[in-house]
Amino acid sequence: MTHHLSKLILLLCTALCGRSLMAQPMNLRQCMDYAVAHSAQMRLSAADRSDELAAYRQSFLDAFTPSVGAQSYAYNQYGRNLDPETNTYTDFTTFHNGYSLSGSITLFEGFQALGKIRLAYLQRQKGLSHEQQCADGVRIAVMEAYYQLLYYRQLAEVLRHSCTTADSALTKVRREEELGRKGYADVVQMESELAERQYQLTDAEGRRDQALLQLQETLCWPSDRRLIIADEPEELDPLATLSSPIELPAVQIARAELREAEIGVRQARTAWSPTLSLGAGWSTTYYTYPNLPDYTPLPFAQQWHANGGQYIQLTLNIPLYSRGTRSLALRKSQNQRHRAQVRLEQALREDTNALRRATIDVEAAEASALKAQRMAEVGQQAFALSCRQFELGLISAIEYQTASQAFLKAQAESLNAQLQLRLKRHLLRYRQTGNL
């Protein structure tokens, strides 16, 4: 009883600890790692990598190990047939039961086996690049969803504070109206201001929930668990200046395809080379005449040894004419190599342009973030001055509402500019170092 109670307590503690860990806020790095570990695309990619590894191992077996097979047969032969004992024709029904064991290995085929090994190795390396490309795509998708959720969450906080400010301003205006310092039009205008802020807050909260759902879908997050992300993004190290560009998976894949095409050209040329193979085997047979009276066959074991035979053969195959199929295969492989070369040049050009575009995006985002921050600071000062002027009756409610809307817009643009700058820096770092 004590053992079962202690086991139950241990399970409860483990479950509570697991829930507490899952309830902890996750930063951007943790979200990306979780998505890569649980993504359906990554699991499918892992199955593809397993197939490529198996094919790579199989290429060695095909090149350096023989093929061995065993065979057994049994049949009745009716009518006129050859008597195995006298080597003459008879009309008796004969029963035959045979066994054989054979093996063969290719000694030379124009080094096609080595080409197949290199091709399997390149396909495995290309598969690893595909897997890295898939992981990078998942991380970028998580990053975009993460910053989108962060933007709407912080925007909702800004709007909630704006609603509080608008509600306080409405309370003051109503009190001013009771004292005769403000008119009914001012009250209506402030009520409109509060209603607009409440609507914007509701809209931002709805977009925040949609962004949270999008992030959960990208993470493959369990629907029965709550996802909490950190309120502040990670700080980035200063961007490095690289002397030589880093090849991203797209370029690595294009380069591997070019190498595969070059191997394909060599494989097509070796189709004209002769093939030399070695084979060996052993066989035996057992026979009897089931319908022949007064006939006693030799025992099975005696026939097994007496009828057994072995052979060794060396086969040389020299291709002479195949109606142009080998020439056609060579031409197609050369065209495939040309296409792979063009795709590699295109991938290198796109990678260079993407790096330049990411650099320009970061520079533009830095300038926009500075100006948006300055605009928000000035807007805050202008809004504070407008509040004071409205309290003194120097400006109307419409002018106060205009200043409030300008300040709110400046805050939203500053927030968006800061988050966009962080996102652009992440993408530039990926283009520079290949890491996210």
334, with CB counted inside 10 A (0-12, 13-18, 19+), is middle
Position 68 scores a pLDDT of 93
Residue 245 DSSP symbol: P
Closest CA to 239 of 425, 435, 29, 427: 425
Query: Which stretch of 160-169, 240-249, 404-413, 423-432 has the lowest confidence by average pLDDT?
Result: 240-249
pLDDT-derived band at 238 (thresholds 50, 70, 90) equals low
Q: Give the C-alpha separation, 250 to 185, whole Å.
A: 63
pLDDT-derived band at 244 (thresholds 50, 70, 90) equals low
What average pLDDT does the segment 347-369 reach? 93
Does residue 104 have a pLDDT over 90? yes
Q: What's the chain's Rg over C-alpha atoms? A: 40
Q: What is the pLDDT of residues 254-264, one digit of tens each?
A: 999 999 999 99
Does residue 30 have a pLDDT over 50? yes
Does residue 308 have a pLDDT over 60? yes
| Residue with more model confidence, 141 or 391 | 141
Q: Give the C-alpha separation, 409 to 376, whole Å.
A: 8
Does residue 31 have a pLDDT over 70? yes
What average pLDDT does the segment 310-336 reach? 90
Question: Percent of the chain beyond pLDDT 90?
Answer: 52
Does residue 233 have a pLDDT over 50? yes
Q: What is the pLDDT of residues 375-385, one digit of tens each?
A: 999 988 988 88
What average pLDDT does the segment 385-405 reach? 84
Query: Which stretch of 227-236, 281-290, 304-313 has the lowest confidence by average pLDDT?
Result: 227-236
Position 16 scores a pLDDT of 44
What average pLDDT does the segment 62-90 reach? 82
What average pLDDT does the segment 298-314 reach? 89
Position 303 scores a pLDDT of 87
Token pair, residue 138, equals 């998942």
Position 314 scores a pLDDT of 92
Query: Which stretch of 2-11, 70-79, 305-314 has the lowest confidence by average pLDDT?
Result: 2-11
CA trace torsion 124, 128, 131, 137 (10° rounding) = -140
Position 170 scores a pLDDT of 86
Position 206 scores a pLDDT of 95
Does residue 151 have a pLDDT over 90? yes
Domain residue extents for the chain: 70-108+276-318
Position 236 scores a pLDDT of 56
DSSP string over 204-232: HHHHHHHHHHHHHHHHT--TTS---B-SS
Position 232 scores a pLDDT of 62
Residue 26 DSSP symbol: B
Token pair, residue 348, equals 């290198």
Token pair, residue 287, equals 């026979």
Count of alpha carbons within 13 angstroms of residue 181, beta-carbon side = 12
What average pLDDT does the segment 193-219 reach? 93
Position 18 scores a pLDDT of 44
Position 19 scores a pLDDT of 47
Position 172 scores a pLDDT of 85
Question: Percent of the chain beyond pLDDT 70?
Answer: 91
pLDDT-derived band at 93 (thresholds 50, 70, 90) equals confident
Give me the chain's average pLDDT, please.
Answer: 86
Q: Give the C-alpha separation, 395 to 382, whole Å.
A: 13
Residue 111's H or E segment, with its range, is: none
Does residue 156 have a pLDDT over 70? yes
pLDDT-derived band at 112 (thresholds 50, 70, 90) equals confident
Does residue 168 have a pLDDT over 80? yes
pLDDT-derived band at 400 (thresholds 50, 70, 90) equals confident
Token pair, residue 88, equals 């003459």
